[in-house]
Structure 1
Amino acid sequence: MYIKKPMEIENKSMDIIEDVMGDTNFSPEEKIVVKRMIHTTGDFDYRNIVEFKGDFLNNAISAIKSGGTIYTDTKMAYSGINKTALSKTGCELKYFIDDERAKKFSKELGTTRSACAVDLAVSEGIDMFVIGNAPTALFRILELVDAGKVDPKFVIGVPVGFVGAKESREELRKYNIPSISTVGTKGGSNVAASIVNALLYMVVGR
């Protein structure tokens, strides 16, 4: 016999995660987000590597309640975000990685499409960022902050990998931007999407 009902499976999973996590330094709300990250990855190490800055949860929840556009750096993150929950907010979701302008600028400037896609997002007034794949996208956001071109309402910064990922997240944590990031090499588009979903469920429920 095995559990067949989706919510029953999820609830059982969350109970298991809760038992393993035990006492933490996270607030109850932060713990909900971390549990969602663990649930998505099956990796309990996330309870040790997640860092919140700038009153991330309150600012991110307030931003989502106020509506606007959330930018994601990949189609994978875009696909992983719960559209039913998103539709209950005043927010929409965009990515520009396949935009022909990003491809064109990337060739002209000798940088990644991910970095150029951030410029496109900022040019459209987007100020909520979900980065799960490209360190160059996260670095570019911070460059635009330094240039006074964007003041992010929040940044989810969990790009995965071995080249620039750790460093981009360390740089993010130097800023007084409402953010969530991971320490080390772990992260990814699925992790980024799980964080957004946790926020959405806090705002609109399941």
Structure 2
Amino acid sequence: MNARTAVHPIEQESYAILRSRLDTSDLPPLTRAVVERVVHTSADTTWVGDLVADEEALRAGREALLAGAPLVTDVRMLAAGITARPAVVALDLAGEPEPGLTRSAAGIRAAAAQHPEGAVWAIGNAPTALHELVRCATDGMVRTPLVVGLPVGFVGAVAAKAALRASGLPAVSNRSERGGAAVAAAAVNALLYAEVE
């Protein structure tokens, strides 16, 4: 069962236009849901060649979310965009960071201490937050069914997302510098709203 029951006519028309311009029928169901919602959110069909998704990881993340697993986001803006459920905001846990650690990274470290097992993580703002999450997982501090790793920026975003993919963590990410809270929220919402078996 999905988290939403009614779709507004404007959204229906928007998806009809999207599908007239973009054929996603060959994608697995959850990958298709994520790609389409990110394209819908950004009005940018070129996300299709940029997103990197693993269907099994998306399924595991969806199942965890629907079963009530904690959802941890890096920033409030991302949490606000996830309309079906509350989230833990890592940045709110940051406190005073250690020297050499950004507040975003400190927040992820604090959130990892609170949610070491089973949380779904969504990073849409700071590349340093995603780097720290990967570091925490590599050090055995975090086990997760899914990381939505879509931070944005000219400094560090591409490298952080490449590190996520290289880590072997179950994830959805993208190859380019673009990203952001809106697209990360779109990916999570796609999982929560998807109508798949």
Cα-to-partner distance string for 1:122-167 (whole Å, 9 max, x where unaligned): 1112532100011111111111111111112210000011100001
After superposition, what is the alpha-carbon deviation per residue over 1:105-129, rounded to whole angstroms, capped at 9, x for unaligned? x1x3221111011111111125321
- Alignment partner of 2:109 out of 89, 104, 119: 119
CA distance in 1, matches of 2:187, 2:181: 10
CA separation in 1, counterparts of 2:123 and 2:82?
13
Does residue 32 in structure 1 map to residue 33 in structure 2? yes
> Which runs of 5 or more structure 2 residues have no equivalent in the other structure?
1-6
Q: 1:65 Cα deviation (Å)? A: 2.4
| Contact 1:33–1:199 (8 Å) recurs in 2 | yes
What TM-score comes out, normalization by structure 1 length?
0.85
CA offsets per residue over residues 11-37 of structure 1, 9 Å max, x none? 111011111112565213311211110
1:38-77 aligned at under 5 Å gives the runs 38-53=39-54, 55-77=56-78
| Aligned pairs, number | 188
Secondary structure at 2:70's aligned position in 1?
strand
| Cα distance in 1 between the residues matched to 2:25 and 2:148 | 21
Question: How many Å separate the matches in 1 of 2:88 and 2:133?
Answer: 16
**Aligned partners of 1:119, 1:60: CA distance in 2, in Å?**
21
Q: Distance in 1 between matches of 2:195 and 2:27?
A: 19
Segments of structure 1 that go 5 or more residues without pairing to the other structure are 1-5, 87-91
CA distance in 2: counterparts of 1:146 and 1:14, whole angstroms: 39
Instruction: Find the counterpart in structure 2 of residue 89 from structure 1.
Output: none
2:99 and 2:64 mapped to 1: Cα distance? 32
What is the Cα deviation at residue 95 of structure 1?
Answer: 0.4
Q: Which amino acid aligns with 1:96?
A: A
Partner residue in 1 for 2:3:
none
TM-score (norm 2): 0.88
**Other-structure match for 1:96:** 90
Distance in 2, matches of 1:155 and 1:42, equals 23
1:192 aligns with 2:193: no
